Amino acid sequence: MANDAPPRWDRRMQQRLARGEAAALGELYDRFASLVHNLAHRVLGDEEAADRVTREVFGYAWENPDAYDPKQGTLRSWIATLAHRQAVHRLREAEARAAAQPTAAQPTRDDRAGGGRAGAGRAGADPARDGAGRTQEDIEERIREASVAARADYIVTSMPAPLRAALELAYFDRRDYRQAAAELGVTEDEARRRLRLGLQLLSTANVPPPDAVPPPGYGRAL
Q: Flag whether 221 is in a domain.
A: no
Rounded percentage of the chain residues whose pLDDT exceeds 90: 32
Q: Flag whether 116 is in a domain.
A: no
Q: Are 92 and 189 contained in the same domain?
A: no
- 82-136 tens-digit pLDDT: 998 899 899 888 888 877 776 554 555 455 445 544 444 444 555 555 555 667 7
Q: What CATH code is carried by the domain that includes residue 15?
A: 1.10.1740.10
Count of domains for the chain: 2
How far apart CA 27 and CA 13 sit, in angstroms, is: 9
Q: Name the residue range of residue 189's domain.
A: 159-207
Q: Are 167 and 83 contained in the same domain?
A: no
Model-level pTM greater than 0.75?
no
Q: Flag whether 122 is in a domain.
A: no
Give the model's confidence band at 23: pLDDT under 50 very low, under 70 low, under 90 confident, else very high.
Answer: very high
Rounded percentage of the chain residues whose pLDDT exceeds 70: 73
pLDDT for 194: 87
How far apart CA 169 and CA 184 sit, in angstroms, is: 9
For residues 31 and 143, which has the higher predicted lDDT (pLDDT)? Answer: 31
Q: Are 46 and 139 contained in the same domain?
A: yes
Average pLDDT of the segment spanning 52-72: 93
Helices 22-44 & 47-63 angle (0-180, nearest 10): 140
**Count of C-beta atoms within a 10 Å radius of residue 122:** 14
Instruction: List CB contacts of 193: < 8 A, sequence separation 6 or more.
Output: none
Average pLDDT of the segment spanning 54-66: 95
Lowest mean pLDDT among 61-65, 102-106, 151-155: 102-106
